[in-house]
Structure 1
Amino acid sequence: NKPLFNGRAALLKQKEEGLRYRFVLLDVEGNKPAEHSFILKNGKQVGIVTSAAWCPTAKSNLAFAQVEMPHGAVGDEFVAEIYYQRELQWTRLMAPCKVIDGPLFNPPRKRQTPAPAH
C-alpha cells in the first residue's frame, strides 16, 4: 500500500513466492560455541549458524541460525556440526540442538514499580 520506493518489486516478488529461509534461535547442548556450524536434519544440511555464545543469564549455549523452509518451527530438533581446536588438533562435535522461542530470561519483578524494599 506504500508508494514507490527502491526494492518494492523485490519485496512483492518475495511475498508472492514465499520465504526460502527462516532465522531461528537454537539451544545447543554442551558448552562449545557453535559459531559458523552447519545445521543438519537427518544427515542433510538445512542451515548454518550465524552467531553463537554462552549465555550466563540463561545458563545455555545459544545460537542464531538461518535454516531452510519449512524447517525451523519452535520445538524442531537439529544437530549442529561444531568444529573446535583442542591442543592444536581440530575436533568435530555433533551437538543436538532445539529451536526455542520467547524470552530467555523473565525475572519475576521486571515490571514492579517501585522496587521492593530489601
Structure 2
Amino acid sequence: MREAYLHGERPAQAVVSGFRHSGRVVVAAGIIMMAVFAGFMTGGETLVKMVGFGLAIAVLFDAFVVRMAFVPAVLALLGKAAWWLPRPLARLLPRVDVEGEALARRPAASPTAEDGARDTVRV
C-alpha cells in the first residue's frame, strides 16, 4: 500500500491497489500458519494442544480480521495522514530502498578518461 502511495496513487486508491496485490499472500500465509499450529493439536499433551489451538485462532484473527479489515479501513479513513511521518523521526530512521528507486532518480554521470583510470584495478 505504501509503495502504491509513493508511486503517486491517491491514498484511497493506494489502499485498494495494495490490498489487491497483497491479499492473496496474506490469505495463503494465514492458512499455512493455521495448518501448522493446528498440527500441534494432534499431539498427545494437553498443553501442546492448547498452545496450538490458541496460536491457530490468533493467526486467524490477525490475518483475516486485522490485516484484511482493520488496517485497510484505518488507512482509508486517515487518508494522507496515514502516510505522514514526523520530521525528527524521519531523520532517525534509516532510509531503506528495497526497490532501488533512488538509483533510478540519480542522474547518470558520463564517464571521463580520469574516471576510467581511477576505476581500473591494477594487478
Superposition TM-score tier, normalisation by shorter sequence: under 0.3
TM-score by length of 1: 0.22
Structure with bigger helix share is 2
TM-score by length of 2: 0.22
Question: Whose RCO is larger (CA < 8 A, sep 6+)?
Answer: 1
